[in-house]
Amino acid sequence: MTDTPQTDGPMTDAIDARGLKVHFQTAAGLVRAVDGVDLTVRRGAFHGIVGESGCGKTTLARALIGLQSATVGQVSIFGRDRADWAKADRKGFARAVQFIFQDPLGSMSRRQTVGQTLEEPLQIHGIGDNKARRARVQELLDLVALPETVLDRLPRSLSGGQRQRVSIARALALSPQLLICDEPLSALDVSVRAQIVNLFARLQAQLGLTIVIVAHDLAIVREVCSSVTVMYLGRVAEEGEAKAVFSDPAHPYSQALLSAVPSPNPVTEATRPRILLAGDPPSPRNPPPGCRFSSRCPVVEPRCREAEPVLRPVAHGGAAACHLADADAHAMI
């Protein structure tokens, strides 16, 4: 059932997006949700996309797989043009790439039992006979550590953690190679969140998946992700290896975002220096000229309000879009 997508070689990246823009025309004006993003996700990566509401992270995730059509730009998945692939072989594309939604209840039929929910993709793709499908459903339950007793239950009667496990199991039914997850942890309690995070990490190691996770819980991203993209107002502010970005963020926004996460240890919390940004993120309808972060940046310079910075290599080996950052040094706030 491993259905390797045709690619131009095993070394191609899982995702390669170029110049992606998603603009929405609304009554109040043009919303530039994603406004010129290049994104590369290597095969086998556990990639986190972080940022605050309105930064475009969810829209980006949806645009990557065509759930949201892009205004401009091009996305390749495993070396194939995503739009062409989905048009030519929709089912094959679905077998390779799956999406997990923030709200598992909203993404499942309320009238289908867990068993039916898990079997449906197998039926649609004509995989196995009845018996083989049952066996596969059992396998999926084991994979996400759900007891067999949930098979006859409706999504409503499950706990939040169990529902998210079901939606993960359903996404895995067709043995995809790329999983894109939109805030899969936000609706969960702390102790359950840890269970699901560990489940993702285990699945990735076990199945060799590439996982992209949209999240606002930075501590968890640091814990499980291998690489990370920090977004601000529709643009990439910084990107790189997760541990490197977290230990030496080059963009002032990344620094402030990380500083905003309190330490669970009250002694550390009381003594650490803290950066408090003024104001809310501006509206993506009306981004400030020049650098989008210039209106809140504590180390802003006149040139920041004039020219928009492009991503350039920085000390930690990744890249940041800040006039004050290059491979040798960056601003510290």
Partner 1 sequence: MTAPIYQVEGLVIDLYTPTVSVRAVDGAGFHVAPGETLAIVGESGSGKTVMTLGPLGLLPEGVAVDLRGTARADGKDILAMSPAELSRLRGGFFGVIFQDPMSALNPMLKIGPQLAEQARRFAGLSAAEACKEAVSLLARSGIPDPEDRYDRYPHELSGGMLQRAMIALALAARPRVLIADEPTTALDATVQAQILALIRQIQKEDGIAVILITHDIGAVSVLADRVAVLYAGQVAEEGSAIDVLTAPVHPYTRGLLASVPDFRSDSASGTKEIPGIPPNQAQLEAGCRFADRCDRVQPQCNTRRPRLQTVGMGVVPHRVACPVVIAAEGIVTHD
Alpha-carbon separation of residue 237 from 185, 286, 325 (angstroms): 23, 17, 11
Q: What is the C-alpha separation between 288 and 268, in angstroms, rounded?
A: 35
Alpha-carbon separation of residue 214 from 48, 49, 60, 141, 229 (angstroms): 6, 5, 9, 24, 10
Stretch that binds partner 1, among 24-32, 38-46, 62-70, 195-203 (CB under 8 A): 195-203
- Tell me how far, at minimum, the Cβ of 192 lies from partner 1, in Å: 7
84: DSSP letter: H
Per-state percent for the chain, helix, strand, coil, to nearest 5: 35, 20, 45
For partner 1, the closer CB: 54 or 66: 54
Stretch that binds partner 1, among 72-80, 89-97, 98-106, 153-161 (CB under 8 A): 153-161
Site string for partner 1, 274-313 (x = CB under 8 A): x-xx-xxx--------------------------------
The verdict on 263 binding partner 1 (CB under 8 A) reads yes
Stretch that binds partner 1, among 60-68, 86-94, 218-226, 310-318 (CB under 8 A): 218-226
The verdict on 219 binding partner 1 (CB under 8 A) reads yes
The verdict on 149 binding partner 1 (CB under 8 A) reads no
Q: What is the C-alpha separation between 28 and 40, in angstroms, rounded?
A: 33
Q: What are phi and psi of 57, to 5 degrees?
A: -65, -40
The verdict on 264 binding partner 1 (CB under 8 A) reads yes
Q: What is the C-alpha separation between 209 and 303, in angstroms, rounded?
A: 43
Alpha-carbon separation of residue 243 from 120, 197, 240, 317 (angstroms): 39, 17, 9, 11
The verdict on 142 binding partner 1 (CB under 8 A) reads no
The verdict on 150 binding partner 1 (CB under 8 A) reads no
Positive or negative CA dihedral for 110, 114, 117, 120? Answer: negative
For partner 1, the closer CB: 11 or 27: 27
The verdict on 26 binding partner 1 (CB under 8 A) reads no
The verdict on 267 binding partner 1 (CB under 8 A) reads yes
- Tell me how far, at minimum, the Cβ of 142 lies from partner 1, in Å: 16
Pairing type for strands 227-232 and 46-50 reads parallel
- The residues binding partner 1 (CB under 8 A) are 52-53, 159-162, 189-195, 197-198, 216, 218-220, 222-224, 246, 256-269, 272, 274, 276-277, 279-281
